[in-house]
Amino acid sequence: MNKKIIKIQNKKNKSKIVSLTAYSKNIAQILDKYCDIILVGDSMANVLYGLKDTHKISLKNIIQHTLSVKKGVKKSLLVVDMPKGSYSSKKKAKYNAKLIMKKTKCDAVKIESNNKNFEIIKELVKFKIPVMGHIGFTPQFKKKFKIEGDTDLKVKKLLREAKLIEKAGAFSIVLECLHTKASSLITKNIKIPTIGIGSSSKCDGQILVTDDMLGLSGFYPKFVKKYVKLDRIIENAVKKYTRDVKEMKFPTKKNFLNGSKRRQKL
Ligand code: KIV
């Protein structure tokens, strides 16, 4: 098994797992210093491409962004989302997961659960492809963004699903939008680490969409903590640049490439 995966699994019940999404090298190289896991999420569909859901993002898009992210990642575990439709049969899943792994040299793939595709995970694991599961609100299969596991029966169903994903061989599992009762029970009752998003502090680790926590995406549900209002910072910089260009304060001689006796550095 990949050493990075073992290291992450060993954190269960000891220290929290830190995880964020990235779609490009510039962001990835900043995250890499702090994160255990970097996910190239299919959330890029909404966040980067402005699509209404994650359904239309292609395998080609995912691979292209992972190639960029990979350039910024030295130490974190690099996990790549398999897009909707790319793992709808064992054969398809194996072909596409192998393609992602081979082209991008990532460490693992993530697939969303539809409470039926446990055999797909088993098949990928059999071919030595590490898989991260994903339950609760799974945007590829569910339309309504709402809390999951808010009744005892639903908690039981989610626990069963998590256990089957663990049994199929997944090395970790994302819990999205789970009631605290469900995330707590699942985290206590499976051996693989749980990574929560909107699922309380009871999980073994946390993940957020980076553009959300930086205040760039415009999507801020209650579970997102905005650590900075990057949209305002960028707007201020653009405003200053606009003023400088109009008032001919930029470029100044400092920015000219000619006119110096010394050889210019570009
Ligand atoms: O696509 C994504 O960014 C994700 C995270 C929200 C877990 O799946």
Same domain, yes or no: 160 and 239: no
- Exposed/middle/buried for 193, CB within 10 Å: 0-12, 13-18, 19+? buried
User: What is the structure's pLDDT at 266?
Assistant: 64
User: What is the structure's pLDDT at 82?
Assistant: 98
User: What is the structure's pLDDT at 1?
Assistant: 79
Q: Which of 19, 21, 208, 219 is the best mutation target for the ligand 1 pocket, counting ligand atoms within 8 Å of the beta carbon and taking the most?
A: 21
| Structural domains counted in the chain | 2
Residue closest via CA to ligand 1's atom 4 equals: 41
Residue closest via CA to ligand 1's atom 5 equals: 41
What is the pTM assigned to this prediction?
0.96
DSSP-derived 3-state class of residue 194 = strand
Same domain, yes or no: 213 and 243: no
Q: At 87, which CATH number?
A: 3.20.20.60
Same domain, yes or no: 178 and 253: no
User: Which residues does a 6 A CB cutoff place in the pocket of ligand 1?
Assistant: 21, 39, 41-43, 81, 174, 197, 207, 209
**Which residue numbers in the chain have pLDDT < 70?**
259-266
CA-21 nearest atom, ligand 1: 3
Same domain, yes or no: 35 and 24: yes
User: What is the structure's pLDDT at 258?
Assistant: 86
Element (H, E) at 78: strand 77-81
Same domain, yes or no: 51 and 179: yes
pLDDT tens digit string along 150-167?
A: 999 999 999 999 999 999
Same domain, yes or no: 252 and 160: no
What range defines the domain where residue 102 resides?
A: 3-228
